[in-house]
Amino acid sequence: MKSRFAAPLLAFAAVIALLAAGLALKPHELPSPFIGKPAPPFTLPRLLAPEETFSVSQMKGNVWMLNVWASWCAACRDEHPLLNRLAQRGMRIVGLNYKDDPEDAANWLRRFGNPYSHIPRDAGGDVGIEYGVYGVPETYLIDGDGVIRFKQVGPLTADALRRKLLPAIEKLRGEKS
């Protein structure tokens, strides 16, 4: 009689333990297989000047960020003031416009400001796939040799900026000089 109740009770306890473990995970801190590896190369048309292109090779020798964003992304709006402040402090930010309508994206930038030094347009999302994008926004910190040093899944927060990204930027800039 006891074993008849023990098996379902143990199964229920196992499910509860798995759910509790899942709640402790932080999806914006997912380990990335790209950390320490070269940023995938790409050449794409520019959002605001489609007759011109942007290539990752143009950033060689610079510490820079790749921010994957879209006008339809609510979380992108949340992080945008931080990106504007970073750009004002001299950070080079490339804004990979992801699966977006070009007119909507241009209007969005006029409304919220443009922190990007370059804005390549990833209309089909192929470059996003190469970078392992889970969803927008995502941000990568890339060193002067073109190696990915940091990845933020989800919007940048003031805490993530203060605790992780700014120290990583300063370290890379210090190594460069």
pLDDT, mean of residues 10-38: 62
CA distances from 23 to 17, 134, 137 (A): 10, 19, 22
> Which candidate, 176, 165, 1, 167, places its Cα nearest to that of 79?
165
Q: Is the pLDDT of residue 28 over 50?
A: no
**CB burial readout 46-79, b (16+ within 10 A) else e:** ebbeeeeebebeebeeebbbbbbbbbebeebeeb
Q: Is the pLDDT of residue 25 over 90?
A: no
pLDDT tens digit sequence for 50-104: 999 999 999 999 999 999 999 999 999 999 999 999 999 999 999 999 999 999 9
Domains of the chain: residue spans and CATH: 32-176 (3.40.30.10)
pTM: 0.82
**pLDDT of the residue at 15:** 56
